[in-house]
Amino acid sequence: MENTPVNYVAEFTFKPGASLRVKGDFILKDSRGNIIPTGDSIKLCRCGKTKSQPFCDHSHRLL
Amino acid sequence: MESNNRDYTNGEITVYWRPKLCIHATTCYTQLVEVFNPRNRPWINMKGATSERIIEIVNKCPTDALAFKWNADNGLTETTATKKVETQTLQPAEIQIMKDGPLVITGKIKLTDNDGKEYKTYSITSLCRCGVSNNMPFCDGTHRKIAFEG
């Protein structure tokens, strides 16, 4: 498995009931198409309750 | 027999709608609402644009939910052959936030849960952002029912 060529540019890992981790080479765009500057690893909200959309602020813990 | 399947024609081409295959990438109605309008019934208006323009948008559908054929063909739906050719250049993945809707991700990505289980992705993948999809982690359109804002 270690020699398997990488054929993806970004890794998306989600935790059921929690956030989505994005790592790698990606561009994030808001709903108007503007680029949101980020580092190369971010956590996005999946529960809909964050107060800092689109990023996770751990509000899912309160659900 | 899928009773929700629909075929629409303008005499020149026929567009095939297979709702079960839709992953809600929203490409069709965000780019050509004159033809693809989910608020209307029927939701596809074949008089809303030229055949060429309709084909262009159908070809952008990341799944086979939308397909077409030229009526003169009298043959099989040949769209899958042409539409599924993916560019192999590894450009950055693009994560588009849809207003009050999902994350729409374009590009070659790897999607796993935190146990390492891998999920199949397409050239366009829509992920739930509202928290209530019945097909996690993917969007199933439920955000509209709960009037998600974000």
Kindly determine whether residue A30 and residue B97, on different chains, have CB atoms separated by under 8 Å: yes
Residues B104, B62 share a domain? no
Q: Please report residues of B whose CB lies closer than 8 A to that of A47.
A: 131
Kindly determine whether residue A10 and residue B128, on different chains, have CB atoms separated by under 8 Å: no
Return the SS3 of B69: strand
Question: Which among B98, B108, B131 has the least Cβ separation from residue A8?
Answer: B108
Q: Is the pTM of this model over 0.80?
A: no
A48 vs A62: CA distance, rounded Å: 12
Residue B88 pLDDT > 90: no
Domain limits at B138? Answer: 94-145
Residues B119, B76 share a domain? no
Give the residue among B6, B15, B107 at the shortest CA–CA distance from B55: B15
In a mutational test of the B interface, the residue from A43, A46, A52 whose CB has the highest number of chain B CBs within 10 Å is A46
Residues B101, B76 share a domain? no
Kindly determine whether residue A12 and residue B110, on different chains, have CB atoms separated by under 8 Å: yes
pLDDT digits (tens, 9 = 90+) for B19-47: 988 888 889 999 999 999 999 999 999 99
Q: Please report residues of B whose CB lies closer than 8 A to that of A7.
A: 90, 108
Question: Which among B108, B137, B150 has the least Cβ separation from residue A14?
Answer: B137
| B2 vs A37, higher pLDDT | A37
User: What integer is the mean pLDDT of A22-48?
Assistant: 95
Residues B100, B62 share a domain? no
Tell me how many domains chain B contains.
2
Residue B6 pLDDT > 50: yes
Q: What is the pLDDT of residue A43?
A: 97
Residue B1 in any domain: the answer is no
B26 vs A59: CA distance, rounded Å: 27
A43 vs A52: CA distance, rounded Å: 11
Q: Is A1 touching B (CB cutoff 8 A)? A: no
Question: How would you classify the pairing of strands B103-106 and B109-113?
Answer: unpaired
Residue B121 in any domain: the answer is yes
Q: Is A7 touching B (CB cutoff 8 A)? A: yes
Residues B112, B49 share a domain? no
Nearest CA in chain B to A17: B131
Residue B44 in any domain: the answer is yes
Kindly determine whether residue A24 and residue B96, on different chains, have CB atoms separated by under 8 Å: no
pLDDT digits (tens, 9 = 90+) for B45-83: 999 999 999 999 999 888 889 999 988 754 444 444 444
Q: Please report residues of B whose CB lies closer than 8 A to that of A25.
A: 90, 92-93
The residue behind tokens 């690893």 is A41
Contact, A46 vs A18, CB < 8 A?
A: yes
Task: Please provide the distance, in angstroms rounded to a whole number, between the alpha carbons at the two ends of chain A.
Answer: 38
Q: Look at chain A and count its residues.
A: 63
User: What integer is the mean pLDDT of A16-32?
Assistant: 95
Q: Is A16 touching B (CB cutoff 8 A)? A: yes
B25 vs A17: CA distance, rounded Å: 22
